Amino acid sequence: MRSHTIVDSPCGPLTLVAEDDALCGLYMVEQRHRPDELTFGSRTPHAAIFARTEAELKEYWAGQRRVFEVPLRLVGTPFQQLVWAALREIPYGSTTSYGELADRLGRPAASRAVGLANGKNPVGVIVPCHRVVGSNGSLTGYGGGLERKRYLLDFEQGALW
């Protein structure tokens, strides 16, 4: 059974979606690949998973958390799962390119597929797809918009402190 709530953040309102007691979605307003809201389930702001997620996000925004521990239930293809797991290995404040990520996965010719899987990440910020940039360091593609990607990268690199 799915449920959802909406929390505030420096990136605007975030819709949190849970399935049972695990987070399965974190979506920004006007996010590309945002599922139809009918799939989010009923609005349940007081569920324990939402309180835990919101607390971890507040710690992140306060500069006190670099790794999220909230339980996740991510639904995707085996390749998407592989990419999303690799995203969680990119250190806070660091970036990598799509090609470098493909290399790490042992699939050096799959940078485009890595980019597509990255864009389908259902739990932005927590699974840090914003840390992936173009091969020349340029900001390329972000489901939440390039302004939010720049904000998140600047925040993590201390430019907003």
Decide if 20 is inside a domain.
yes
Q: Are 50 and 88 contained in the same domain?
A: no
Q: Are 83 and 149 contained in the same domain?
A: yes
Question: Which CATH number goes with the domain that contains 22?
Answer: 3.30.160
Q: How many CB atoms lie within 10 A of CB 125?
A: 21
Tokens of 37: 């809201």
Q: Are 141 and 84 contained in the same domain?
A: yes
Decide if 67 is inside a domain.
no
Q: What is the domain extent for residue 113?
A: 78-156
Per-residue pLDDT 10s for the chain (161 aa) are: 899 999 999 999 999 999 989 999 999 988 888 888 889 999 988 899 999 999 999 999 999 999 999 999 999 999 999 999 999 999 999 999 999 999 999 999 999 999 999 999 999 999 999 999 988 777 877 777 788 889 999 999 886 65
Q: Are 89 and 147 contained in the same domain?
A: yes
Catalytic residue among 129, 132, 133, 152: 129
**For residue 28, what are the β-bridge partners?**
14
> Is 11 a residue of the active site?
no
**Whole-structure pTM value:** 0.92
Residue with tokens 């500069």: 63
